[in-house]
Structure 1
Amino acid sequence: MSEVRPIQPEPPLSDEEQANKEAFDAYGMRLALWLMDRRVQPVATGSPVAGTWLLVDDPGVLVFTESEFTWLRDRNEPAGDYYRGTYSYMQGALTHDGFVISRDGADLYSLFQRYTVESDGGDPRAVHFYGVFMVQRRGDELHIRNQRTGGDLQARRSAFRPGAAEGL
């Protein structure tokens, strides 16, 4: 059983972190206005990403329910660092250049996430983020792109179950 440690307050942001936050907040506002202008509504149920997904080039695992997710950074350390939060999604991909629908047999989705870093380097702290991700699903494979950083993840559906004791 892992030790329960208090969550530390979020440290002040550096100038670079503050600039990145402001740029992302501005992007988020433009995205929200774009969605409202087109009256695009997130899909409420039947998530196409629900399930457990093992990352291909990383020891991490993603677990999606209908409205919540956990990204366990290392599946070999169930009590290790993880991100946890809620999400909604919509069909099609939002990009900086507009809206894209896949035509090559893969399904495209946009995920909107609010999440907390529950532990960072062994020191839990409350750090809250919002994210916009483009997800391409082809059968039992996911390709996930972080729309803010451009980072990519590849994942495959799995029967892996993280430890129930950790609440994952």
Structure 2
Amino acid sequence: MSVGDAWCDWKDFTRLSRMGRDALTERRFRLAAKYLSDALSLFRGNALTDGTEHLLTEESPGFEEARMTALEGRIEAFLALGRHTDLVPELLKMVTRHPFHERVRAQLMLVLHRCGRQSEAIAVYHEGRQMLAEELGVDPSQVLTDVYQGILTGRPELQPAV
């Protein structure tokens, strides 16, 4: 869909998201957090709520996926900056809304672990493992399993940044 030269939040969102992902890759975490936070601030409610049913059906999943990718990136930047305490309420909500999204669940486990809440982090893993097995008949992904094993063994890279 082209909007010509008109201003569009989506253009700004994609530009800021790209800049944030690039900054993450370059390990420039403060800049990544800023760009991705700025990108996410452009989302005010659900995308395309005033659109046609066809537009909602066809385009909304792509917008939501782009938003989730930006959120995960911002969370990654905050974790690298040692801002894990700030993330607990947001990640609890995200896991409730997206219970099968294993990367978000792994991020919640890591945040809880860094906040000294290991038993809660382990419980988040087991709840996810049980749900995946019962609902989908699958085992947790490597990402989820790695964080779980890292918490159990006290891997140093899972500790808060100093």
Q: Which has the higher contact order (CA 8 A, sep 6+)?
A: 1
Bigger proportion of residues as helix = 2
TM-score, structure 2 normalization:
0.25
Which has the larger Rg? Answer: 2
TM-score, structure 1 normalization:
0.25
Bigger proportion of residues as strand = 1
